[in-house]
Amino acid sequence: MTNLTHLSMAEALEGLRSKQFTATELTEAYVKAVEAARPLNAFITETPEIALRQAKAADERYAAGKALPLDGMPLGIKDLFCTEGVLTTAASHILDGFHPPYESTVTSNLFRDGAVMLGKLNLDEFAMGSANITSHYGPVLNPWTGKDPANAPRKLVPGGSSGGSAASVSGRFAIAATGTDTGGSIRQPASFVGIVGLKPTYGRCSRWGIVAFASSLDQAGPMTRTVKDAALMLQSMAGFDPKDSTSVDMPVPDFAAALTGDIRGLRVGIPREYRVDGMPAEVERVWQQGIEWLKAAGAVPVEISLPHTKYALPTYYIVAPAECSSNLARYDGVRFGLRVEGKDLKDMYENTRAAGFGKEVRRRILIGTYVLSAGYYDAYYLKAQKVRARIAEDFTKAYEQCDVILTPTAPSTAFAIGEKQDDPIAMYLNDVFTVPASLAGLPGISVPAGLANDGLPLGLQLLGRPFDEETLLRVAGVLEQAAGPQPLPPYVG
Amino acid sequence: MSVDKATLDAKTVAKIAHLARIKVPEEDQAGLAQELNKILDWVEQLNEVDTDGVAPMTSVAAQTLRRRDDVVSDGGYPDKVVKNATDAAEHFFSVPKVVE
């Protein structure tokens, strides 16, 4: 029999519909793969009993001819999504023992459509990080090690914050996974492990029940092995939700139907500001290759300018910490999670939060508190919101000249655990190509574009107009086709 | 930025930490001040951007907040609400004594 864990979601659905194997067989294969992958530390909580129960129900529906759109698909769920009765940690000590009494809208939607949950995936604490090294539960390892023999003993990061999601999909121990993206947390890890990562337009997927980091930026999306799978999974995740005040009430198109392969005449913007100083030649080479692929398919490259690009990261590092300092005020040791006693109430708050938050989270809360504090609000927060408006305006103008934008996803391939750890700003630079679209709320997708010289995956990023995930997926499909079959990571062998 | 160029010292860090209700041991304050200053220096470059007459962007959603009828649409399960609390008694959250 074919190796069940190597099938894409579309292939697995076809196999189930044509009764080549059962959902229980598929889930059992994944449960074993999850156990075998423990050294990569991608899961915080494994839920094999839930998975097998859901698979059994899927099999009954297949037998009755009533299969659902994602029936029997064994997914990993980023541990930022609240799952009813199942430990939800956000990879933070402060959420110790938290078993949500409710289910997030996105996971509800996935389960409504038959998805199976293998467990809860590791991430950077509260999704704050680009290497999955800030988790209270320890770092996640990348299934890729690269050609450099020095890399073999060194352990590479899977990117972040959705590092467990990225590792599990690339390492063939989840058929797909949910991610969330605030400044690049779906797209950058997808690039680091050679999978597809789609951040939809802000408002497309409900934020309800997702542990909040920066509410004006957070957005859930699929992390998959193929573009088609991303379309199928987004179909279930997306949709209006009255419980999220910024959820957008508009129809969800048939995303898979957008994969026509026809991009003739489409104008592809190439932003000149994304040629940053010190960018490795390999990243430049893959970008050029992407341009050639799209040209060969009949698209028309157009040079565009996004003049405020260099201000996106500093803007982000005011806006996101400000929102995080406000969102994370709820962790006080009273209603849920960790509680460390003190001599009075205030002391209990301060002790709880000192023990519960890791260093990066503490740093961001303090920055956020500072930029929102009396006397500094206008100079920092208000200024950043104005620059954010400029950045968004850049994109609006660019889309007068082009239909979609092509850039590299990240400025490098995966690096080793321990690198860039002393300097927060060096770590923040990982998101230089992903943050601008996040600030503007635009959809973006990272598509694997082969391996760099060092034997590690590199992704290409496409950015679209608001709510035009269809064009994004169509162009992504063409890139995927042109790039050809992608090699498996050494972990899979 | 336009206000006096912010240089955080240990004392300011202690003040922000208190505002954020995070206990920061005295020996960590100076180091943390240095880290935060580096980030604040780096964001200074936003001053180069001309934002005269630009309205601050508070949301990317081009919509006003929806309204709904002012009716109870959820609730009635106090057991669930207090289930995750370390110290809950009879559907109340307990905290250390606040009033003498």
Q: What is the pLDDT of residues A264-312, one digit of tens each?
A: 999 999 999 999 878 899 999 999 999 999 999 999 999 999 999 999 9
- Tens-digit pLDDT profile for residues A17-72: 999 999 999 999 999 999 999 999 999 999 999 999 999 999 999 999 999 999 99
- Residue in B65, B52, B2, B74 with CA at minimum distance from that of residue A379: B2
The partner residue sitting opposite A311, judged by closest CB among B35, B49, B65, is B49
Q: Is A326 a domain residue?
A: no
Domain positions in chain B: 1-48
Q: Do A424 and B39 touch (CB under 8 A)?
A: yes
Q: How far apart are CA A121 and CA A126, in angstroms?
A: 12
Q: How far apart are CA A333 and CA A353, in angstroms?
A: 8
CB-based contact (8 Å) between B16 and chain A? yes
- Average pLDDT, integer, range A186-213: 98
Torsion (CA) A41, A104, A444, A297 in degrees, nearest 10: 90
- Tens-digit pLDDT profile for residues A91-109: 999 999 999 999 999 999 9
Higher-confidence position of A468 and A1: A468
Q: Is A225 a domain residue?
A: yes
Q: What is the CATH number of the domain that holds A104?
A: 3.90.1300.10
Domain with A92, as residue range(s), is 4-262+409-483
Q: Mean pLDDT over all residues of chain B? A: 89
Q: Do B36 and A363 touch (CB under 8 A)?
A: yes
The partner residue sitting opposite B60, judged by closest CB among A351, A390, A441, is A441
DSSP assignments along A248-264, one per residue: --SPPP-SGGG-----T
Give the active site residues of A: 78, 161, 185
Q: Is A369 a domain residue?
A: no
Total domains present in chain A: 1
Nearest-CA residue of chain B relative to A425? B39
Q: Which residues contact A303 (CB under 8 A, 6 or more apart)?
A: A269, A270, A272
- Residue in A136, A137, A194, A142 with CA at minimum distance from that of residue A167: A142
CB-based contact (8 Å) between B68 and chain A? yes
Q: Is A50 a domain residue?
A: yes
Give the H/E segment covering residue A302.
Answer: strand A300-304
CB-based contact (8 Å) between B14 and chain A? no
pLDDT score recorded for residue B65 = 82
pLDDT at B5 over 60: no
Q: Is A272 a domain residue?
A: no
pLDDT score recorded for residue A60 = 98
A-chain residues near B63 (CB < 8 A): 246, 248
pLDDT at A1 over 60: no
A-chain residues near B80 (CB < 8 A): 101
Percentage of the residues of chain B whose pLDDT score is greater than 70: 91
User: H helices of A171-252, where?
Assistant: 187-193, 227-237
Q: How many angstroms from the chain centroid is the CA of residue A286?
A: 21
pLDDT score recorded for residue A237 = 98
* CB-side neighbour CA atoms (13 Å) of A122: 29
**Tokens 């649409």, located at residue:** B73
DSSP assignments along A1-33, one per residue: ---GGGS-HHHHHHHHHTTSS-HHHHHHHHHHH
User: How far A208 CA sits from the closest chain B CA (Å)?
Assistant: 15
CB-based contact (8 Å) between B56 and chain A? yes
Q: Do B59 and A216 touch (CB under 8 A)?
A: yes
pLDDT at B78 over 90: yes
Higher-confidence position of A102 and B61: A102
- Tens-digit pLDDT profile for residues A390-411: 999 999 999 999 999 999 999 9
Map residue A218 onto helix, strand or coil.
coil
The partner residue sitting opposite B16, judged by closest CB among A308, A339, A370, is A370
pLDDT score recorded for residue A151 = 61
Burial class (CB in 10 A: 0-12, 13-18, 19+), A291: middle
Q: Is A393 a domain residue?
A: no
Q: Is A387 a domain residue?
A: no
Q: Mean pLDDT over all residues of chain A? A: 96
- Indicate the range of A205-219, A224-238, A413-427, B64-78 predicted with least confidence: A413-427
A-chain residues near B86 (CB < 8 A): 333, 339
Strands A444-451 and A300-304: unpaired
Check: CB of residue A211 under 8 Å from CB of residue A126: yes
What is the ipTM score, two decimals?
0.93
Structure-token pair, residue A144: 């890729």
Q: Do B60 and A245 touch (CB under 8 A)?
A: no
Q: How many CB pairs under 8 A join A and B?
A: 168
pLDDT at A150 over 80: no
CB-based contact (8 Å) between B47 and chain A? yes
The partner residue sitting opposite A366, judged by closest CB among B6, B17, B65, is B17
Instruction: Identify how many contiguous H helices and E strands chain B contains and give both numbers.
Output: 3, 2
pLDDT score recorded for residue B19 = 97
